[in-house]
Structure 1
Amino acid sequence: MTERREELAANLARVEERIAAACAAAGRGREEVTLIVVTKTFPASDVRILSELGVRHVAENRDQDAAPKAAACAGLPLQWHFVGQLQTNKVRSVAGYADVVQSVDRARLVTALSKEAVRTGRELGCLIQVALDAGESGRGERGGVAPGGVAELARLVDGAQGLRLDGLMTVAPLTGEYAGRQQAAFERLVDLSTDLRAAHPAANMVSAGMSADLEQAVAAGATHVRVGSAVLGVRPGLG
């Protein structure tokens, strides 16, 4: 355990240096960017170590992994973010532990999340996942609503009981006009965020960038970066 703690501490320090350097290069204050550590496939013991090392935001993408992990880490000063594609039959479980759902991409999901938030007396933060590979209509390969659908979905979230509209999220597209152009994709998301804040001033979160492209996300103006492998190492079973 001591060895794992040292490994995670060293990795966290390197990621912190990268974020700080990216902020400096972009003329931004370090406090403008929040690190979310993506802990998917890693055990609750790693989450506990990260908490001890000062991490306050963790993310998961599969409810069957996240629910028991969140229960095992109950009481730690953590905010849990759900970042995966969310089926409505998993909403009851996810609404029990997630503080923020970053992958809201359709009206039916808004309705289901609202129902559970009201039932449990919790307020759920919501980010609208934007699919920059979807054109102006349709959905992206990895979930998300097309840019043209953001305003309507935001209106639904903002009017739903128990939900709080926090902002936007995207995953750099693998296909389409933004394939291989992460910074351009993230800049597009920031433009969409500017439009969103005109109608919803408090929805100022911009979640973009992962281990490989966090610098581009910070340069574009992201407020939150989601980093997994750079902190935790190669996913179990992948190396």
Structure 2
Amino acid sequence: MTSISANLQAVNARIVSAARAVGRDPATVRLLAVSKTKPLADIRAAVAAGQRAFGENYVQEGVDKIAALAGEGLEWHFIGPLQSNKTRAVAESFDWVHGIDRAKVAERLSAQRPADMAPLDVCIQVNVSGETSKSGVAPAAVVPLAHVIVALPRLRLRGLMCIPEPTPDAATQRRRFATLRETLEGLRLDPALAGQRFDTLSMGMSHDLEAAIAEGATIVRIGTSIFGARTAAMASPQAAGG
């Protein structure tokens, strides 16, 4: 068994344990393996161990990996901050985008999504800890942005995503994840959004996945616990999975 295979088993065991601890079905939590900066060999090892969904933070790196692994039938999520001048490559290559925080980016992704591909699944990124350095809209701004996104023909708004400020305090972790859950519940109650499929809470990383699952995470974004730590030079303050 490779170390990546063993790591995947350990992470999946954590997910199962965390879900059962709060009375949830573990099958309702998906593991997104964050493979940013990692070589193709590591991704292939994860694929051989049964992992199918991968997250990338950097547009060109992600596009290159998608092309190299095109025959594997994998699901690719863009989870980093997205500049409007790079939306076309993401719209043409990825299956999901987790970090929508501007109407302009959403509009460009919809316009550039090829007609022969399924609509692009997207999440709105919410700044749940109020950091000025962090991307994401304030909870109060989610509903207006959701109204814009659901009207776009080539996007499918699935839910919300957050990257809280790191903290070892479990109570603080849960409070911030609860903010995202409550914001999604508010979306579901908006009459203008009736009938939309809001089924996704993308939250939780290597250090806080238990708290995220306790508050309803449906996707946890795990990189370090699967592939090992990145070097300091490659670390990013906007890291969306770890």
Quick one: distance in 2 between partners of 1:156 and 1:130? 16
Conserved in 2, the CA contact under 8 Å of 1:208 and 1:222? yes
Quick one: distance in 1 between partners of 2:89 and 2:10? 34
Quick one: distance in 1 between partners of 2:225 and 2:166? 20
Conserved in 2, the CA contact under 8 Å of 1:67 and 1:94? yes
| Structure 2 stretches lacking a partner, 5+ long | 235-242
The SS at the match of 1:143 is: coil
Listed as ranges, the matches of 1:10-21 within 5 Å are: 10-21=6-17
The answer to whether the aligner puts 1:116 opposite 2:115 as a matched pair is no
Quick one: distance in 1 between partners of 2:115 and 2:84? 15
Match of 1:142 in 2: 134
Conserved in 1, the CA contact under 8 Å of 2:126 and 2:136? yes
Structure 1 position 121, deviation (Å): 4.5
Structure 1 position 193, deviation (Å): 1.0
Aligned residues: 229
Structure 1 position 181, deviation (Å): 1.5
Structure 1 position 203, deviation (Å): 1.3
Quick one: distance in 2 between partners of 1:95 and 1:140? 28
1:8-50 CA deviation, whole Å, 9 max, x = no partner?
Answer: 1110111111111101111101101000000000012222221
Amino acid at match of 2:176: A
Quick one: distance in 2 between partners of 1:221 and 1:227? 16
1:208-229 CA deviation, whole Å, 9 max, x = no partner?
Answer: 0000000000011111100000
Listed as ranges, the matches of 1:18-37 within 5 Å are: 18-37=14-33
1:48-89 CA deviation, whole Å, 9 max, x = no partner?
Answer: 221221112110011121111111111212111111000011
State which drifts further: 45-54 or 59-68. Answer: 45-54
Structure 1 position 194, deviation (Å): 1.0
1:153 to 145, 152, 162: 145
Structure 1 position 197, deviation (Å): 2.1
Match of 2:240 in 1: none
RMSD of aligned residue pairs (Cα, Å): 2.2
Quick one: distance in 1 between partners of 2:67 and 2:171? 38
The SS at the match of 2:76 is: strand
- TM-score, normalised relative to structure 2: 0.88
The answer to whether the aligner puts 1:66 opposite 2:57 as a matched pair is no
Quick one: distance in 2 between partners of 1:174 and 1:226? 14
Structure 1 position 142, deviation (Å): 2.3
Listed as ranges, the matches of 1:121-132 within 5 Å are: 121-132=117-128
| Cα distance, 1:189–1:85 mapped onto 2, change above 3 Å | same
The answer to whether the aligner puts 1:168 opposite 2:163 as a matched pair is no
| Cα distance, 1:148–1:229 mapped onto 2, change above 3 Å | same
The SS at the match of 1:181 is: helix
State which drifts further: 198-207 or 183-192. Answer: 198-207
Quick one: distance in 1 between partners of 2:134 and 2:58? 14
Conserved in 1, the CA contact under 8 Å of 2:91 and 2:110? no
Match of 1:231 in 2: 226
| Structure 1 stretches lacking a partner, 5+ long | none
Quick one: distance in 1 between partners of 2:132 and 2:93? 26
The answer to whether the aligner puts 1:211 opposite 2:201 as a matched pair is no
Conserved in 1, the CA contact under 8 Å of 2:129 and 2:176? no
Quick one: distance in 2 between partners of 1:168 and 1:64? 24
Conserved in 1, the CA contact under 8 Å of 2:120 and 2:155? yes
Quick one: distance in 2 between partners of 1:152 and 1:118? 26
Amino acid at match of 1:192: T
Conserved in 1, the CA contact under 8 Å of 2:91 and 2:114? no
Conserved in 1, the CA contact under 8 Å of 2:92 and 2:114? no
Identity of aligned residues (%): 38
The SS at the match of 1:75 is: helix
Quick one: distance in 2 between partners of 1:129 and 1:183? 17
